[in-house]
Structure 1
């Protein structure tokens, strides 16, 4: 898992190195997420990297009933991960990332709940790893790693340490 997380760190390093304009202009999360996905795609050769991808093979990705997550669709059931690293047709789900702008005032629990669900092996074809990053103008202000439907404190601390080593911040 550290190999995959190192690739996320490299993509974040590229994002901060080449997209200062976006941070200076305080653009929305979707613009940041798209550019991050571009850099992430360079790290994951042979994998598809998609933003807001709501499918598992031919099926629409749905959360279980009674969830706290609000969604963009009219039925309020579909889930749209910010960035997914996967193989679309199989499905083979490697990595899911929720990106938050530090100025986002919606509850953090929204993204945390989504990552727990997306990595839960009892719900769907779960993603192997889930990552939450909160991006500020100069660095990552917070990060978490989810595995098996739960927050992984050891990997979260390791990931935050890697972000700090590269000058990107990242407290767990």
Structure 2
């Protein structure tokens, strides 16, 4: 998993090197997410990188009834992941990333619950790894790594430490 996470870090490094304009002009999370996906795609040869992808093969992506994440996209609370690294036709789901701006004051729990659900091995569309990134103008202010439907504390610490080592992280 560290190999895949190192690719996320490489994408973040390239993103921050070229996309300062997005933060200077205070553009929205969707614009930031898209530009990050461009750099992520360069890291994952042989995989497809999509934003807000709502399918698994021919099926629409829905969580089971009774989960705390709404599937009502009109309210902006969909379960569609911000960025995914996958193979569309098989389907083979490698990585899902949720991105938030540090200035977003809505509760982070929505994104955390979404990543728990999207990496839950008991759900038919589970992703192998989930990553939560809270992005400020010059660095990642918070990150978490999800595996098997929960936060993987050792991997999260490793990821945050790697970000700090390259000047993109804060104390975690």
TM over 0.5, yes or no? yes
Residue 93 in structure 1 maps to residue 93 in structure 2: yes
Q: How big is each residue's C-alpha offset from its partner over 1:7-40, in whole Å with a ceiling of 9 and x where there is no partner?
A: 0001001110000111111110000000000000
More off after superposition, 16-25 vs 72-81: 72-81
Q: Give 5+ residue unaligned stretches, structure 1.
A: none
Q: State how far apart, in whole Å, the 2-side matches of 1:25 and 1:170 are.
A: 23
Q: Give 5+ residue unaligned stretches, structure 2.
A: none
Q: State how far apart, in whole Å, the 1-side matches of 2:155 and 2:77 are.
A: 30
- For the 8 Å contact 2:71–2:77, the answer to whether it is kept is yes
Give the C-alpha shift of residue 64 in structure 1. Answer: 1.9
RMSD: 1.7
Relative to the length of structure 2, the TM-score reads: 0.95
Relative to the length of structure 1, the TM-score reads: 0.95
Deviating beyond 3 angstroms after TM superposition, the runs of 4 or more aligned structure 1 residues are 74-78
Q: State how far apart, in whole Å, the 2-side matches of 1:15 and 1:76 are.
A: 25
Q: How big is each residue's C-alpha offset from its partner over 1:127-163, in whole Å with a ceiling of 9 and x where there is no partner?
A: 0000000000110000000000010000000000110
- For the 8 Å contact 1:102–1:135, the answer to whether it is kept is yes
* Inter-CA distance 79–43: structure 2 relative to 1 (3 Å threshold): same
1:5-154 matched pairs, under 5 angstroms: 5-73=5-73, 79-154=79-154
